[in-house]
Amino acid sequence: MNNAMQAIHDDRLLQDGLLVIDKPGRDDLAPQPPQSSQQAASGRPSTRLLSSHDVVARVRAWSGQRRIGHTGTLDPMASGLLLLCLGKATRLVEFYQHQRKRYQAVIVLGAATDTDDATGRVIDTASVPVLDPAAIERTLASFLGDVEQQAPLYAAIKQQGETLYRRARRGEAITAPVRVVTFYALNLVEFTPPDRITLDIECSAGAYIRSLARDLGRALGSVAYLQALRRTRIGEFTIEEAHSLLAVEQACREGRLSDLLLPVGERLPLPSHRLDDETLRRLGHGQVVLLAEDACDPERRLAAARDAQNRLIGIIRRLDKAASNGGWRWKAEKWLE
């Protein structure tokens, strides 16, 4: 085995961790109108956009690592932060995917599309009232907090065992589900009269910015679609630390993907407890242990178990308070080592 092949082989042995990627999408700034009904009917090919699944497939092919998952879908037209979990880190996807997200969005008033974004065909048009920033900000305030939001028809949500977008593409009559999402911040970045709105958005996982664009258009007395979307933050991960796909491909070719990976459990959104080797051994064997520490996630009573070097060893669950010494009983929930 030559040195280059040996380097790639050795690198594959180290492919456990988090990979922060800057996913490409449509040009975030150039005004690109959605297709008209005539354009859609013509079958004219459009620019190939990458889905989140496409990105995962590419990294699998480049790296040879089969165990890869992402922590939250980005629509093909959207660019920005995509957090991948590799190897052992795939067991932590559920903990990363429920974090807050931050986006920059461009919304265009006066037209509605079947997908609620610029990749769809125009299904409705309406006049745009005369607006000013103050009026837009007042309307945005009505969307803050917990709101009921209907998903777009073209969405990855499953209904009757199949994704909505597959059923929508077949022309089936479907009703998208409604669920409660949270908008923590809706800041007007720029208004370009008469119809272009740029927003900075912080929201809960599961919120659809396409649906926000649609609903905002209606609330402003018109219709609207999402022109461009860029995700800039997931929890504590930011776009500034993300790697381009070109950089990831090059690193894989040179056998140094491990240089781009963050440690397994990096910025895991759970309280952490550093434990000694004996306690970790007992937890790993399925035993219940007593700890003085009580900090845990309030919903599921979970915490991260780390060793003396702060490496994540597993996820533990707090059971109940021990009557004897006032400590707490803990048991392994998910073990990585």
Query: Please, which pLDDT band fits residue 334 given cuts at 50, 70 and 90?
Result: very high
- pLDDT value of position 111: 97
Q: Would you say the pTM of this structure is higher than 0.95?
A: no
Is the pLDDT at 165 greater than 70? The verdict is: no
Note the pLDDT of residue 262: 98
Average pLDDT over residues 91-107: 96
**CA 74/CA 204 separation, integer angstroms:** 14
In a 13 Å sphere around the CA of 200, the CA atoms on its Cβ side amount to 6
Is the pLDDT at 35 greater than 70? The verdict is no
Catalytically active residues, by annotation: 75
The CATH code for residues 272-335 is 2.30.130.10
Where would I find the beta strands (DSSP E) of the chain?
Answer: 17-23, 68-70, 79-86, 101-109, 111-113, 122-125, 145-150, 158-159, 162-163, 178-192, 196-203, 224-234, 237-238, 272-274, 289-291, 302-306, 312-321, 328-335
Tokens representing 50? 């990458």
Q: How high is the pLDDT of residue 31? A: 46
Distance spanning both ends of the chain, measured CA to CA: 30
113-145 per-position pLDDT tens digit: 999 999 999 999 999 999 999 999 999 999 999
54-70 pLDDT, tens digit per residue, is 999 999 999 999 999 99
Residues of the chain within CATH 3.30.2350.10 domain(s) are: 100-234
pLDDT (tens digit per residue) in 293-328 = 899 999 999 999 999 999 999 999 999 988 777 799
Mean pLDDT score across all residues of the chain: 89
Average the pLDDT over each of 29-33, 58-62, 74-78 and give the range with the smallest value.
29-33
Q: Is the peptide bond before 298 cis (omega within 30 degrees of 0)?
A: no
pLDDT tens, 251-263?
999 999 999 999 9
Helix (H, G, I), strand (E, B) or coil at 149: strand
Give the pLDDT score at 13. Answer: 52
Looking at the chain, the domain(s) classified CATH 2.30.130.10 span: 272-335
Asked if the model's pLDDT at residue 9 lies above 60, the reply is: no
User: Residues 6 or more apart from 201 whose CB is under 8 A from it?
Assistant: 102, 103, 104, 105, 183, 185, 186, 187, 209, 212
CATH no. of 100-234: 3.30.2350.10
Q: 238 to each of 81, 90, 155, 243, how far by Cα in Å? A: 7, 20, 25, 11
Q: Which of 4-8, 21-25, 56-60, 101-105 has the lowest mean pLDDT?
A: 4-8
- Of residues 93, 17, 3, the one with CA closest to residue 248: 17
User: b/e string for 167-195 if b means 16 or more Cβ within 10 A?
Assistant: bbeeeeeeebeeeebbbeebeeeebeeeb
